[in-house]
Amino acid sequence: MTRVKRGTIKAKKRRTTLSKVKGYNFGRSTKKKLAREAIVHAGKYAFGHRKDKKSDRRRLWQVKINASLRGMDLTYSKVIDSLKKKNIGVDRKILATLAEHNPESFERIIHKL
């Protein structure tokens, strides 16, 4: 059987693995075995945190809306309830953006309730 030299292929695989962990601390950025483990964990966290990001954004929108409403002596829950009852199709993301960047438009929407 002929001999197969794997130096270049092994080196390429190691290079690609280590390029994925650039900036990691300690042996994770230099040692192949630790790097592979770090990549696996990072993938798990990335998946879970993509899900968490959605709830984090929604929570932030709620805080922004509520902060703007408190200046008008209203509460978040009552305004959201009246929006639903009057079938006004403005979601929280848009309301939060208006409250932060365009308060006049936000007030006009709220006064329609």
Which domains are assigned to the chain? Answer: 7-111 (1.10.1900.20)
Provide Rg for the chain, Cα atoms.
26
Query: What's the pTM value of the predicted model, to 2 decimals?
Result: 0.70
Residue 80 backbone dihedrals phi, psi, to 5 degrees: -65, -40
Identity (one letter) of the amino acid at 80?
I
Tell me the per-residue pLDDT of 24-69, one tens digit each, with 9 for 90 and over.
999 999 999 999 999 999 999 999 999 999 999 999 999 999 999 9
